[in-house]
Structure 1
């Protein structure tokens, strides 16, 4: 039966290669307009997707527009819009659920000395540290540090971001980012963030070493319609959301090594079957990630990565005895990528899931199966 899955994947590969795209870059009087995008056709095999269907197709197309206008010799304005289209749903479901979405959209000003400031839907500061282990985007990492629309973890709305390179000329290898996030409404309870602020600092030298430290602190935000819920959960009112991250990278010759350590507080909800509650929060989450990649001169990129995510210091009496910690994710990914040219690449990934099943894992629908995936990516 397995040969049929590979045959279907081969059809997707041939379809993607024969699809033509083009990039347009316009320059006029110091102003520029760039159009970029990609098409990712992915095919996965796992017992987790459905009891009777063990395959999963994922076709995503992205299109972005970046514009920059020169105001004077030192000041310029810029904007970026990126749109995602999920092509693996039938058309009637796409129309009903509005699965296509604006991924990013922000506008700002940039000064050659004072730095840049922009506002809109953008990356949160925690992404700066996390990006050093995100070199392989098709690896599935189901942890809070990967989620969009969760405070300043990844991409979110209402972000005012200030970036400065070289700290006003004081340190050539050090970059600084300061960020403020306004309140977000009309979401799930765990995603309704209050106002908060964050920062990141990035150091990079000529020897190939990079270090990034990130931090943010926010308040929780509950709608007035949740007044009755808050009265019975008064501890939620006092919750403060915090997260720390440290990313390290080393890139020399054909070798890349990356590591990330992350710590978050009161960010991850979990479902408690015993008291029928889905609005309890894990006190703290610890993430450890490592990756090693080698670049052959033949455009062949094998890699291996490791992820360990655990929750600590919360009431797990209903699930385990004699402890207050539980594994949320633990996996090894063996991957390889081959670049046909600058635009087209193909990849294969095998995820070895090291999680063990228990009541908590089952009640929160956390995957414990291995996943084999392959795909082709066209980008411009």
Structure 2
């Protein structure tokens, strides 16, 4: 029983980058503590004035721990902090801070700052060397990224019946979810209470996993909901990921805003004499449709690009990354406006349409 509990609890704690190389600093009498960290020295090369331009250096440090309370009960906790050392140094944050109990086949329950319930689905394509992750954006989608004040129930083996089916239920108590900064002037960008669920099925021994989830805010006015579905295939060499999502925001009984998007990723690992090289190819497209009763609406991409890159893992602790983002946005698209740090007053010169080259080195333990 203890072995089964540990097998369920540990993967839930060590999902951060670098967890595979974490350092065990304490393991005695049923108590275990691991530390892990990452330093990424990276730069995005593109025109000045574009939001993702410039230094993207950061450092993360985290710890996870667990304690065996009884033969059928394990307590656990996790904390992780990221310090931005580049142009976004003011955006340093606590990424995770939660604690909970694991009841074995009955599932686990935790509370604190943790991944939103839809992050399990958006993560299928959030694997690019430097960019990506647009679907994991609480400004657009509900409970799609890290969120504060979330209570989460997870069951990773469907009550002990099968290891191939898992699901999660979540409630967010006025967390970071659904800030909807894109619509700040209309609903004041307030974070709101929300709830959601997901389910995933590893399809026998095919390497395929299918997942879906739904989340929405609790307000009767300005209701915001998101549903997502994804599919991934993975074996030792090949990884394929795809997801589709749709969000709808209705407010003031006058406006409806819809955001639809899909993401596709293909990666292939090649073992070399020293290390492993993983080329990566992706296509991302998100589109917003905004319409109301008293003005002309918007029907425009907010993200649209092709990504070509690679990760070179020299060993489990050190990697080099390179990625080129072929920006497919037109200068009149909403995404060009959002990608511009400051409107220069000349719409045709918006830098939000420029390609970006990202390069970096990563050390992790």
TM-score band (shorter)? 0.7 to 0.9
**Greater displacement, 146-155 / 163-172:** 146-155
Q: Does 1:135 pair with 2:133?
A: no
Quickly say closer, same or farther: Cα 1:124–1:50, change in 2 above 3 A: closer
Q: Tell me the equivalent position of 1:193.
A: 191
For structure 1, the residue ranges without an aligned partner over 5 or more in a row are 1-20, 221-236, 270-279
* Structure 2 partner of 1:247: 230
Q: d(CA) in 1 for partners of 2:248 and 2:53?
A: 35
Larger Rg: 1
Secondary structure at the aligned position of 1:129 is classed as helix
**1:145 Cα deviation after fit:** 3.3
Write the distance in 2 (CA, Å) between the matches of 1:197 and 1:22. 32
Q: Is 1:308 aligned to residue 282 of structure 2?
A: no
Which residue of structure 1 aligns with residue 323 of structure 2? 349
What is the TM-score normalised by the length of structure 1? 0.76
How many Å separate the matches in 2 of 1:114 and 1:241? 31
2:158 match: 167
Which segments of 5 or more consecutive residues in structure 2 lack a partner in the other structure? 1-20, 182-186, 341-351
**Superposed displacement of residue 182, structure 1:** 1.1
> CA 1:255 to 1:203, structure 2 compared with 1: closer, same or farther past 3 Å?
same
1:1-380 aligned at under 5 Å gives the runs 23-49=23-49, 56-89=54-87, 97=90, 99-136=91-128, 138-141=130-133, 143=134, 145-147=136-138, 151-184=142-175, 191-204=189-202, 205-220=204-219, 238-266=221-249, 283-298=257-272, 299-315=276-292, 325-358=299-332, 360-361=334-335, 363-366=337-340, 367-380=352-365
Residue 215 to residue 62, structure 1, CA distance change in 2 (3 Å): same
Q: Deviations over 1:85-115 (max 9, x none)?
A: 11125xxx96xx5x43211100100011211
Offset at 1:360? 4.3
Q: 1:31 to 1:352 in 2, by over 3 A?
A: same
Offset of 1:162 from its aligned partner?
0.2
SS at match of 1:194: coil
- Retained in 1: the 8 A contact 2:62–2:78? yes
Which residue does the alignment assign to 2:14? none
Counting matched residue pairs gives 320
> After superposition, what is the alpha-carbon deviation per residue over 1:280-332, rounded to whole angstroms, capped at 9, x for unaligned?
9761101110000011122010010000100125259978xxx8521111100
How far 1:364 moved relative to its partner? Answer: 4.2
SS of residue in 1 equivalent to 2:226: strand
Aligned mates of 2:321, 2:294 — CA distance in 1: 42
SS in structure 2 at match of 1:132: coil
| Contact 2:35/2:61, CA 8 A, preserved across alignment | yes
Give the conservation status (yes or no) of the 8 Å contact 2:167–2:200: yes
Give the TM-score normalised by the residue count of structure 2: 0.79
Determine helix, strand or coil for the equivalent of 1:136: coil
CA 1:347–1:170: 2 relative to 1, 3 Å: same
Residue number in structure 2 paired with 1:9: none
